Amino acid sequence: MRTPHRMTAQPFPDDHRPNPYDHSYDLRDDPPDRHPNPYDELGALGGAGPLEDFLHEDGPENGPDGPPYEEPDEAWAPPNHRRGSRRRRGHLAGAPFVMKAAVLVVTLAAFLTLADRWALLYAEHRASRTLEDQLHLTAAPEVEIGGFPFLTQLADDRLDSVRVTVPDVAADRVSLAKVSATATRVRLDSDGPADVHGARIPELHGEALLSFDDLNRELGSSQVTFTGHGRDRVRARGTLPVAGHDLGLRADARIRRDGTRGISTHIDGMRLDIGDLATYRPGARASEGLHLTPRSAARLAGQTARARALLSVPSVVHRLGVPDTAVRRALRDDTELASLTGSRTFVRQAMRLNLLDVAAAHPELLKRLGLDPALLDGLSRLTRPVLVDRLSLGFRLPRPADGRIRLRDVRVGRDGIRVDVTGTGLSVGR
């Protein structure tokens, strides 16, 4: 076996390169310029190599006999595969201007509407204060001006419609719960949009309400209630204090128009009940006055003391129409007394007896029948005109300074009495 040995380094000619697999050669022994950079040698090659020929090889469309290849002028861009992209690009290009114009228009319209509404509110408030001062109202009315826009109407000195609602209007003894009216074709009296002095109202239509709740509070003092009964009738039910006694009150009122500015009430069926003992109807007719109730008259058959007291007064016996012989037998025998006072004829005649006439001559007799003399004195002063005045529902509207106000239809509803109102040639302001 041969032993490897180190060979002495010998210079190589320029066209020979050392064998990298020869481990006997040491690169550190060569000078630095012995091995040039291969990239420098590649750059120094002249002429076109195979790679250059491949890159500039003519394509199938531009052969040796075809036209030379020319570079395109436009820059390269990726293809757009969306359909109709060119058409949509044109619409989108104009979108910013359209949006700006739309926003400008909407903003301008909002400012104009805001200014118009502010002017409307100011005009309604000023009109409300003017009406309150001129009509001497207890509360400011509600004014609603119709039509849009308001500023154009104001510039033309006209208003399409004005609705006024006045609460709590005093009308004689009662108060109208609400008067609402709508005026059309109103002409303004002004020296400019900012200086309105008054208005002329050629035509007005409205409604007045006389509320049952207000009638109960003002006329009944929370003891009498009014309710509607039919188209033109009102019922009053409750209690009325007389000489320390609470008497049951029943009355019916018929509502009708009184002239052109008021309504009147015709009250009938009015009576006061003293428990189940007697009934008082004010008036001078035979059916009016103080009379026993059917139940009270029938109970005399079992009330021996009261029956004897009644038959012991000759004037009363004469009014009852009972024969003297029958009276004498009844006063001697209780059985005869019960038979006489229990008959239908006696009961009917006893109910016709006006106890107020008896009280004038025999006040002690009514006391024995269970009636308080002070109550009878109070009833004698509670005449029909007094009761009618206390229950009257009539009222009249105030007369305007100029123009006319008329009441047309009058009807009774569930909540009160309603009256249609019309007006012509009215004016407000100076």
Least confident of 60-69, 317-326, 345-354: 60-69
Instruction: Tell me the pLDDT tens digit for each residue of 62-100.
Output: 545 555 555 555 555 666 555 554 555 555 455 677 787
Per DSSP, helices labelled H in 44-200 are: 50-55, 85-134, 150-155
Q: In degrees rounded to 5, what are phi and psi of residue 74?
A: -80, 150
DSSP 84-121: THHHHHHHHHHHHHHHHHHHHHHHHHHHHHHHHHHHHH
Q: Which is more confidently placed, 175 or 329?
A: 329
Least confident of 23-32, 166-175, 261-270, 316-325: 23-32
* The pLDDT of residue 70: 55
Q: Measured between alpha carbons, how far is 316 from 309 in angstroms, rounded to an integer?
A: 10
* The pLDDT of residue 41: 55
Q: Does position 313 have pLDDT exceeding 60, yes or no?
A: yes
